[in-house]
Chain A
Amino acid sequence: MNAAVIIAGIAVWFTAGALLSWFARQNLGEGMSGYFLANRKVGGFISAMTYSATTYSAFMMVGLVGLTYSSGIGALGFEMTYLAATVILMVIFAPRYWAAGRLFNLVTPSELLSRRYESSLAGGVSAVLCLVMLIPYASVQLMGIGYLFEILSGGSIPFMAGMMIAAAVSLVFSWWAGLRSVALTDALQAIIMLSASLLLLYFISHGLFPDGFGAALASRPDLLKVTWSFPLFVGLTLPWAFFAVTNPQVVQRLYIPESVKSLRKMILGFSAFGFIYTILCVLFGLAAAAKLPGLERPDNAMALLLATVPMPLALLVALSIMGAAVSTMNSVILTLSSMFGRDVVKAFAPGISEEKELRICRFLIPVITVVCFFFAKLKLGLIAVLSSMASGGLLMQLPAILGVFFWKRATAAGAVSSMITGGIAVGYMYVRGMKPLGHWPPLWGLLLSGLVFVSVSLMTQRPKGTDSFMKSVSDSVNSHFGI
């Protein structure tokens, strides 16, 4: 595809997003809550779309397509498990996060740990863990765009240039008006992602495979068999299954719906979006495997598939992938900047004014964007594995998060020690390439983290306000949700 056409497409798309950002800025609220949570006044549709666009990144159309291409239908099981687990967890956790956010005026997910465990160290450790683990996750979004545009343009748009464009757009959308801008641009991206994918499916079914998918895949029945090993399935799926409660960029979105009705709409809207989008991405992976067998780099499957479709459609799909990447990346960076300000800086300087706190957070948005850019330059491994490693590290917060709502005996020392030991163990095992007994690091890390959490909690004093905290949350959940 001609580089000038791609750049023109990006310019049109960016202009539409920038206009939404400008609109969002007109009604920007004050303080941390205004900037990072849109004053907790987001309607159901926008909440659902921003949750979907934040969750579903370039990984879907690049990584998942590549994973399906190389390993078949196991990839569908992996992604569907994530979706079902997210809905299961949201039903339990969304009302509690939503209620706690309003009760205690929480801005970040880690702040909940600080409040419940009466320890700023608990929130600080969680925030640092998220910072360390989410840099690779945000970076793979840039890598996805870099690869995509390099291949689509036949090398005219180099890997680095594609990444720079994506980083710049992400920065503009997030920095200008915080979550109001990100939520509105996310909604735009989500609509483009779904529409472009449906159009691509229509073309593939009618243009590339006039006899249907079934006939096209008749020569590749291996792709429809479960060829994944059990340890691989567990290793990749386990961290993603708990994504909804351990990844701060999506947890923070549980604070934003303006009412219980909007929160429900968010969950159901996301469910529908995720179900359709997952099936589409898996079908694209299968289509690429049937049409373009023998690729050396599976992550390039989507880009090469697009080279076989009409140019306007290829451009639209490429922009939708860029939208998916940008919407995830700027949400991650926005959340990380709020966590650094609220859970790290404020822990050291509790007397800091909210205005100054917000200034520091906003300063961090470009800083984190640049860090992600340089990390992405390293081009480490397969995109799917990198993303999963990030979630694997974040999974180490799970015992502490469960303790917040469901275990009165949980203590700050237990929470802090479990996150530190689990985080170090998982990081070490990934770096050394260790898979004890054939199982992936998140499984061992979670076992260790859970064990440390329970043991240390039982040996230390629980926070004085535990009963009061739990009663407040329980009463609020009961009055708003009837549960």
Chain B
Amino acid sequence: MKRREKIWMLFALFYSVINIAVPFLFLKDTGSFGGAFLFWNLLTGAVLLAGVWITSGWNETAVDSEVLK
């Protein structure tokens, strides 16, 4: 496991904690779209964008021949 993957694992750990802690501790009683709804959408969006970044380093070794497209 190289450095980039280790950073990813730390990020995953951080995500796991705040994904539960923030809504269950701080947004539990917020009855509007600006509460847990917004938080979970933004946090997940951040993870997906981080996924774009981390996979951008993958080499792209294409294999020839017929492809199902």
Contacts and interface: CB of A to CB of B under 8 A. Distances in A.
Contacts of A483: 1-2, 4-5, 57-58
Contacts of A176: none
A221 B61 CA distance: 51
B17 interface: no
Nearest to B13: A88
Interface in A257-281: 258-264, 267-268, 271-272, 275, 279
A38 to B, nearest CB: 6
Contacts of B15: 84, 88
Contact of B40 (A77, A230, A271, A479): A77
A73 interface: yes
Interface string A402-414: 0000100000000
Contacts of A62: none
A213 B9 CA distance: 37
A482 B66 contact: no
A272 B43 CA distance: 14
A95 interface: yes
A91 B54 contact: yes
A429 to B, nearest CB: 23
B62 A222 contact: no
B30 A224 contact: yes
Nearest to A46: B68
Interface in A234-288: 258-264, 267-268, 271-272, 275, 279
Interface string B28-67: 1111110111001101110110011011011111110111
B37 A225 contact: no
Contacts of B47: 84, 87-88
Contact of B58 (A43, A80, A88, A95): A95
A350 interface: no
Nearest to A102: B63
A362 interface: no
Given A45-B69, A224-B30, A224-B36, A77 B23 contact: yes
Interface of B: 1-2, 4-5, 8-9, 11-12, 15, 19-20, 23-24, 27-33, 35-37, 40-41, 43-45, 47-48, 51-52, 54-55, 57-63, 65-69
Given A92-B5, A225-B35, A483-B57, 15 more contacts: A38-B68, A73-B40, A76-B37, A77-B36, A80-B41, A84-B43, A213-B33, A224-B35, A225-B29, A233-B24, A260-B58, A260-B61, A261-B60, A262-B67, A482-B59
Interface of A: 27, 38, 41-43, 45-46, 73-74, 76-77, 80-81, 83-84, 87-88, 90-92, 95, 180, 183-184, 213-214, 217, 221-226, 230, 233, 258-264, 267-268, 271-272, 275, 279, 406, 479-483
